[in-house]
Amino acid sequence: MANQKEQLTRIKILEPLFPNRSTSIINGETSGILNWNDIPYPSFYRAYKELSTNYWIPDEVDMKSDAKQYPALSEQEKYAFDAIIGLLATLDSPQTRFIYNIAEYITDPAVHANAAIIAQQEVIHNESYSYVLASITNLQEQNRVFELARTHPTIIKRNEPIMDAYDDFMNNKTGETLVKALIQSSILEGINFYSGFAYFYNLVRQNKMTGTGKIISFINRDELAHSKFISEVIRAILGENPELQTEELVEYTHDAFRHAVELETEWSEEVLQGIEGIDVEEMVDYVKYRANKMLGMLGIPELYPGHSDNTMTWIKAYADNFTETKTDFFEMRNSSYKKTNMDNGFDDL
């Protein structure tokens, strides 16, 4: 049991004097040897199986039609496409470093194993955004999109609460700052991607940019698994350390989710307003539904009464639940892919 303000102990890579089965999830003892048949939380093994079966790489996806269709998108559609690709990169890039950093302060080796997969998948996601752009435009334009994301005031404002919590943990590694950083991570994984996902799925239902849509569907599936596992880790930490379960933490969580929904609403209104097929008000309701769903996974009361179900009916075919059997709405993989190369800039990145 850890005090809220007690500094967390950085794990040793290998400690033969300690047991293989971790004695607690933080500030505990473990040899560092992982025996999946003897772990405190069997759900972490189920998470491992789900994460490890999601393997994919972006250059399996045929981008020929996207390369032809991108120039024909309206200026508004192009701006949204570029801004959202850039936004997603600003979320996935730091997530890799964050996952590695928190793993060093969690005792359970099963968490380390799953964190390694999650971090690797975030790298693939980031490569995907470069791959998509390299498939449809030149290197100068690719760099412009990433610069747009780095300097866009709304994106900076949107990411700030998450990065502040990450930095708080890096500067003061306690149980309290760890839980708050993980809560912000669950917001990133479970809310902040979804208006972007919806934009690409909306293009797909108009038979536009289906290669990009397929990549987004893979990323979406990964992020669902990530957010589910992160919520399990949070619940495990709180279950073992009841002194961290304070009214202040519930209030912090509600405030964080409320603020995230407000920022997501602001972003949606800025980028998606006027896009054919997207009702921004409906999108905001969808984001509130996602917030309630994530809060439920954390065991915290929902914020938005009347938003327990996904009323954005068309998106259910693409994004509602990748853990259930469903029809694949994207074409099967094709062996005749457009490969990116030095001529369109991918090899230069």
The reply, when asked if residue 15 is annotated as ligand binding, is: no
The reply, when asked if residue 307 is annotated as ligand binding, is: no
pLDDT digits (tens, 9 = 90+) for 147-188: 999 999 999 999 999 999 999 999 999 999 999 999 999 999
The reply, when asked if residue 176 is annotated as ligand binding, is: no
By CB atoms closer than 10 A (0-12, 13-18, 19+), residue 318 is buried
The reply, when asked if residue 112 is annotated as ligand binding, is: no
Domain 42-54+64-321 has CATH 3.30.1330.60: no
pLDDT digits (tens, 9 = 90+) for 249-301: 999 999 999 999 999 999 999 999 999 999 999 999 999 999 999 999 999 99
Q: Which residue is listed with tokens 């929904």?
A: 261
- Quickly count: other Cβ atoms within 10 Å of residue 87's Cβ: 25
Q: Considering 70, 105, 129, 194, which one is annotated as catalytic?
A: 129
In angstroms, the first-to-last Cα distance of the chain is: 46
Angle at 323 between CA 64 and CA 111, to 5 degrees: 105
- What crossing angle do the helices spanning 194-205 and 247-271 adopt, rounded to 10°? 40
The full 3-state SS of 320-335, as one line of letters, equals CCCCCCCCCCCCCCCC
> How do the domains of the chain map onto residue ranges?
42-54+64-321
129 is catalytic: yes
User: In tens digits, what is the pLDDT along the chain, a chain of 349 residues?
Assistant: 556 678 999 999 999 999 999 999 999 999 999 999 999 999 999 999 999 999 999 999 999 999 999 999 999 999 999 999 999 999 999 999 999 999 999 999 999 999 999 999 999 999 999 999 999 999 999 999 999 999 999 999 999 999 999 999 999 999 999 999 999 999 999 999 888 999 999 999 999 999 999 999 999 999 999 999 999 999 999 999 999 999 999 999 999 999 999 999 999 999 999 999 999 999 999 999 999 999 999 999 999 999 999 988 888 887 654 444 333 434 433 333 333 444 444 333 3
Closest CA to 165 of 64, 274, 289, 256: 256
The reply, when asked if residue 122 is annotated as ligand binding, is: yes
Q: Which residue is listed with tokens 């469903």?
A: 326
| Distance between CA atoms of residues 47 and 49, nearest Å | 5
Taking CA atoms, 344 is separated from 70, 124, 130, 149, 339, in Å, by 15, 20, 11, 21, 10
What residues are paired with 7 via a beta bridge?
174
